Amino acid sequence: MDAETVIRALGALAQEHRLAAFRLLVQAGADGMAAGAIAERLGVPASSMSFHLAQLGHAGLVSQRRESRSIIYVADYAAMGGLMGYLTENCCAGVACVADTGCSVSDNEERTAA
């Protein structure tokens, strides 16, 4: 993932309603959610939610499909994974991070001192 794409994605997520909508879509899974249902769950007017979803789409974080009269939005897990990978690719001084042990500043200091 290139820096420009990362900046666009982070910019899209740097807004309360867009971040909440994206998290809701991640939870919804591959079935996604209708735009109206997202707006209702978040308590955001439908017209505002459409704007926010368009911004997430422009950033490549969600896709949409039409089902009858509804537009269904789905989180793009590959884009999310790419963003997370970009943010963590140099994590822990090049040592693989493990969820249960993680890495800390003192671990990194010990590695560089050795």
Q: What is the pLDDT of residue 109?
A: 46
Amino acid at 45: P
Give me the CATH number covering residue 100: 1.10.10.10
Q: What is the dihedral of CA 33, 35, 39, 40, to 10 degrees?
A: -60
Q: Tell me the residue range of the domain where 86 lies.
A: 3-113
pLDDT at 75: 97
Query: What does the pLDDT average to over 3-12?
Result: 95
Average pLDDT of span 42-47: 95
pLDDT digit string (tens) for 19-32?
Answer: 999 999 999 999 99
Q: Average pLDDT of the chain?
A: 87
pTM as predicted: 0.80
Tokens of 101: 């042990």
- The domain total for the chain is 1
Q: Is the pLDDT of residue 36 over 50?
A: yes
- pLDDT value for 108: 44
74, 56 Cβ separation under 8 angstroms: no
